[in-house]
Amino acid sequence: MLCLLGSLGAFSWLRSSIDESQKWVNHTDQVLLASKQILLGLLNAETGVRGYALTRRDQFLEPYHLAQNTLPENFKQLKQLVVENPSQRQQIEAIEQLSLNRLTTLSDLVSQVNRSDSNILPTSRLKQLIDQGKNEMDALRLKLAEFDGAEQRLLQAHRYRLEQQRSMNELALWLAASVSALGLVVALSLFYQLERNLREREQTLRESRRLFQAVVANVIDGVVILDGKGQIETFNAAAETMFGYQLTEVIGQNISILLADPFTGDCDQDPDQTAAHLLNVGQQWQTLGCRKSKEPFPIELSVSQFDLDSQQMIIIIRDITERQQAEAKLQAHADQLEQLNLVLSATNTMLKDRNRELDQFAYVASHDLKAPLRAIANLSEWIEEDLNDRLSTEINSKCTCCGHGYSEWMR
């Protein structure tokens, strides 16, 4: 490709150079042609005036009148052609002045012929006009020769340059052909290597595709592959079971037939709205699916792209009906537990209040009973001290339950 682009660039440059040189060659030819037309016009005018002077026939003046009309335009065109060459423009101005002088002389000759009474001018006067015209024409021819010589030299230079550029163009073409032939050999070798690599990659791709299809076919979640237009390309068995569609029924359909409106549960989903949801690439969200029976059910979606260059998308769909039901049951149990916690909290508060009341009652009761019991204990000590020798055996005997005497027990 680089060789081709380089060859085309070189060829275009050389072609433009050749066109430019050819243009200058044509330009110089036009200058020379215009110069010759000026000289030819003056010669025809001089010949016509001489014929008119000899015969006084008006048809001989036609070249003279034609020269008067066309020479100014010829000089204007010639000046435009040499506008970029100051020296040649000066030559043209000098030639134009000589031409005007020559036309003036011819005009004087015609006037004198018209004023003459005889049919033929005197020989001496005719010879004088002819000599004057010859001198003027010689000076004009000399100037035109100098001008044409300069143009001829320019023409030779342009032609030489044109031939050089044509030779360079031919050389460049041969060089480009040689490089292209070498590039062709290299390209064929590279294409052969590329073809072999492509065959190996195709084999690897086929194996990867078979593995991918096996994984997609046996995965428990629904797998849907979409093209760049949002149309279904692949629909695995889990998705068929989940939505109730067969593979042939959904191939080429828009993904919107599998989705319901998440707010209203309407299964007639707008494809544009569905496409807007699918822009959440790499995210998971919950929405409503739509079975073939137009029954909405909760699903969880995950959208991914195969790669940055591909417009295909893979959608993993999971039916979360059972999960939501379980979550609802768990939420109901959680609500019940919360109610029980509230009841238990109220009961605990009540029990704490009752315990405080019992503690207060026990404190008051123990305080109220402590004084009588202390009096009884003191009295029993006094009786024991006073009647220690008189106490019966039954009173001094020990208690069967604690092993203390009744007096000790009383204390």
pLDDT tens digits along 17-63: 777 777 777 777 777 787 788 878 888 877 887 777 777 777 888 88
Tens of pLDDT along 387-409? 766 656 555 555 555 555 545 54
Cα distances from 121 to residues 57, 108, 130, 363, in angstroms, run: 14, 13, 12, 177
Q: Tell me if 248 is assigned to some domain.
A: yes
Percent pLDDT > 70 in the chain is 82
Asked, for residue 377, whether it belongs to a domain, the answer is no
CATH code of the domain containing 14 = 1.20.120
Query: Hey, is 316 helix, strand or coil?
Result: strand
Tell me, yes or no, whether 312 lies in a domain: yes
Most confident of 45-59, 116-130, 187-201, 210-224: 187-201
Q: For 311-339, what is the mean pLDDT?
A: 85
HSE of 3, CA atoms in CB hemisphere, 13 A: 16
Mean per-residue pLDDT, 318-330: 85
Residue 358 lies in a domain: no
Bridge partners, 223 (sequence order): 316
Tally the domains of the chain: 2
177 & 232 share domain? no
d(CA 197, CA 161): 51
- Least confident interval from 266-270, 314-318, 334-338, 344-348: 266-270
Q: Are 75 and 126 part of one and the same domain?
A: yes
Q: Do residues 16 and 138 both lie within one domain?
A: yes
Residues 27 and 136 reside in one and the same domain: yes
pLDDT at 129: 64
Among 304, 319, 334, the domain-final residue is 319
Q: What's the rounded mean pLDDT across residues 105-111? A: 78
Q: For residue 159, how many other CB atoms are within 10 A of its CB?
A: 15
Average pLDDT over residues 84-90: 79
Task: Say if residue 157 is in the same domain as residue 299.
Answer: no
Same domain (yes/no): 174, 229: no
Residue of 342, 297, 340 lying closest to 319 (CA atoms): 297
Contact 32, 155 (CB under 8 A): yes
In a domain, 375, yes or no: no
**177-186, 199-208, 210-219: lowest mean pLDDT where?**
210-219
- Give me the sheet containing 313-319, strands edge to edge: 232-235, 222-226, 313-319, 296-305, 284-290, 259-260
* Residue 290 belongs to domain with CATH number: 3.30.450.20
Do residue 9 and residue 110 come from a single domain?
Answer: yes
CB half-sphere exposure, 305, CA atoms < 13 A? 10
Which distant-in-sequence residues (6+ apart) come within 8 Å of 320 by Cβ? Answer: 286, 298, 299, 300
Q: What is the mean pLDDT of the chain?
A: 77
Give 95's contacts (C-beta < 8 A, 6+ positions apart). 38, 75, 140, 143, 144, 147
In a domain, 365, yes or no: no
The pLDDT, as a whole number, for residue 404 is 53
Domain assignment of residue 75, yes or no: yes
Which of 168, 186, 204 is where one domain is finished? 186
- What is the C-alpha to C-alpha distance for residues 92 and 35, in angstroms, rounded to an integer? 9
8 has pLDDT over 80: no
pLDDT at residue number 116: 67
In three-state secondary structure terms, 213 is helix
Better pLDDT: 250 or 158: 250
Same domain, 245 and 168: no
Same domain as 147, residue 244: no
Alpha-carbon distances, residue 81 vs 23, 77, 377, 401 (angstroms): 12, 6, 156, 153
Q: Which domain holds residue 61?
A: 2-186
Residues 227 and 165 in one domain: no
Listed residues 297, 319, 341: the one ending a domain: 319
- The mean pLDDT value for 111-130 works out to 64
15 & 130 share domain: yes
How far is the C-alpha of 271 from the C-alpha of 253, rounded, in Å?
A: 11
Greatest mean pLDDT among 28-32, 91-95, 116-120, 326-330 lies in 326-330
Whether 79 and 165 map to the same domain: the answer is yes
Residue 143 domain flag: yes
